[in-house]
């Protein structure tokens, strides 16, 4: 059994100790393989000076695996077999190690969306509520670059410690239904004939919105596959003539893809004055759209996602991650310099 196979329902970090619970009774042979794999991960990503597992110490319903170092043994993995679950405890050498182990193990959490829990524990507005939902289902991803690579942004040229991925929404029907209902309410007073999604993350969401509004829907590719190809799928260019289009996408960064789509819609004689996104990263996209005469509608944004009113029991991020994300948004250029990373001042691509 590998660590990446382990489902975790609860996780707790207390000083140098990380505790997790899996809702399964693990077999001895599974635990043996699992602990060896955890050691390999520990050596690779946390402490390369670890040598091997020590001699197993077995008690009534618990196993303890010490970790051998050259001159000390201060780390150990404990497994407790309960009636309906298995509890694992990782005693590390210091707080920094424990924090890294926590960040590794939290990726194994069983995602169980709970709208009522958020309602009871969040005293924020709708934008914060939606952000909390995205945190809860793992749509907001964080990396410091030490345990896994930083995320590629800005046409995949620059890096970021945070990434928004809402393509998992259909996997959580209750959350998806809530997002759709709030989007429908937000857009209910708009006048439009067609809905245009954007390849690929927003296609399913745009289709669901089209169903709610009983409007035709098509989608735009991010770029043409060849010069004579149409940017649009599901519609012929002449069907855009004098039609009012609502542009729908999952996220907004700088708005360059949307600018290209807007330009092409208008080139074909269509009208477009509104764009909807689930998440606005607040990195200039709203202002760029406004210059084009397009108003942005969004359910949540970066400020809401980083609100301190959202409990850490929902976000699962650490203080260091929170600070890193804020430093990045304060100045991506300076953040790249501090990381000794190249920063590219990019300009929007033009449709050929």
**Confidence class for position 60, pLDDT limits 50, 70, 90:** confident
For the segment(s) 113-352, the CATH number from 3.90.480.20, 3.90.170.10, 3.40.50.2020, 3.40.50.300 is 3.40.50.2020
Tell if the pTM clears 0.75, that is, is over it. yes
| Rg, the chain, Cα only | 24
Using CA of residue 106, residue 109, residue 113, residue 119, what is the dihedral sign? negative
347 against 277, higher pLDDT:
277
Percentage of the chain beyond pLDDT 70 is: 97
- Mean pLDDT value of segment 187-211: 94
pLDDT at 199: 87
Percent of the chain with pLDDT over 90: 84
Task: Decide if pLDDT at 272 tops 70.
Answer: yes
Q: Average pLDDT in the 208-235 region?
A: 87
Using alpha carbons, select from 30, 15, 77 the residue that is nearest to residue 50.
Answer: 77
Per-residue DSSP letter, 5:
G
> For residue 3, what is the DSSP state?
G
Does 352 have pLDDT greater than 60? no
Of the pLDDT bands very low, low, confident and very high (cuts 50, 70, 90), residue 339 is very high
Is the confidence at residue 200, as pLDDT, over 90? Answer: no
d(C-alpha 80, C-alpha 350), whole Å:
59
Q: What is the pLDDT of residues 19-53, one digit of tens each?
A: 999 999 999 899 999 999 999 999 999 999 999 99
Provide mean pLDDT across the span 133-152: 95
Sign of CA dihedral 334, 300, 153, 232: negative
What's the pLDDT at 114? 92
For the cut 90, the answer to whether the pLDDT of residue 12 exceeds it is yes
Tell me what pLDDT residue 349 has.
67
pLDDT of residue 298: 97
3-state secondary structure of 49: coil
pLDDT digits (tens, 9 = 90+) for 286-326: 999 999 999 999 999 999 999 999 999 999 999 999 999 99
Query: Looking at residues 264-276, what average pLDDT do you find?
Result: 96
316 and 288 Cβ atoms separated by less than 8 Å: no
Whether 154 and 257 have beta carbons less than 8 Å apart is answered as: no
Residues of the chain with CATH 3.40.50.2020: 113-352
Is 352 within 8 Å of 227 (Cβ atoms)? Answer: yes
pLDDT confidence of residue 73:
64
Give the model confidence (pLDDT) of 86-100 as tens digits: 999 999 989 999 999
């Amino acid at each position: 059994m590998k660590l990446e196979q382990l489902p975790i329902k609860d996780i707790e970090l207390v000083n140098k100790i990380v505790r997790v619970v899996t809702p399964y009774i693990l077999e001895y042979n599974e635990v043996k393989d699992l602990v060896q794999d955890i050691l390999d991960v520990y050596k690779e990503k946390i402490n390369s000076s670890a040598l091997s597992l020590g001699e197993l110490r077995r008690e009534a319903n618990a196993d303890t695996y010490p970790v051998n170092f050259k001159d000390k043994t201060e780390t150990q993995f404990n497994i407790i077999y309960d009636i309906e679950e298995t509890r694992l405890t990782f005693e590390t050498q210091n707080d920094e190690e424990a924090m890294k182990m926590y960040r590794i193990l939290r990726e194994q959490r069983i995602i169980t969306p709970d709208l009522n829990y958020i309602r009871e524990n969040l005293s924020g507005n709708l934008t914060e509520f939606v952000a909390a939902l995205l945190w809860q289902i793992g749509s907001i991803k964080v990396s410091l670059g030490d345990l896994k690579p930083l995320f590629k942004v800005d046409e995949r040229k620059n890096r970021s410690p945070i990434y928004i991925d809402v393509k998992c929404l259909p996997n959580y029907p209750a959350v998806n239904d809530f997002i759709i209902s709030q989007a429908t309410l937000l857009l209910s007073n708009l006048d439009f004939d067609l809905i245009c999604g954007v390849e690929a993350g927003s296609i399913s969401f745009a289709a669901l919105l089209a169903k709610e509004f009983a409007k035709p829907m098509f989608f735009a590719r991010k770029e043409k596959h060849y010069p004579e190809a149409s940017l649009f799928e599901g519609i012929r260019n002449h069907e855009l003539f004098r039609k009012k289009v609502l542009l729908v996408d999952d996220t907004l960064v700088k708005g360059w893809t949307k600018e290209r789509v807007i330009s092409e819609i208008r080139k074909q004689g269509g009208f477009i004055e509104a764009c909807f996104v689930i998440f606005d990263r607040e990195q200039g996209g709203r202002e760029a759209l406004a210059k084009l005469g397009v108003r942005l509608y969004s359910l949540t944004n970066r400020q809401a996602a980083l609100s301190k009113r959202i409990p850490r029991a929902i976000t699962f991020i650490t203080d260091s991650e929170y600070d890193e994300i804020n430093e990045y948004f304060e100045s991506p250029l300076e953040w790249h310099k501090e990381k000794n990373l190249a920063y590219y001042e990019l300009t929007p691509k033009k449709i050929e």
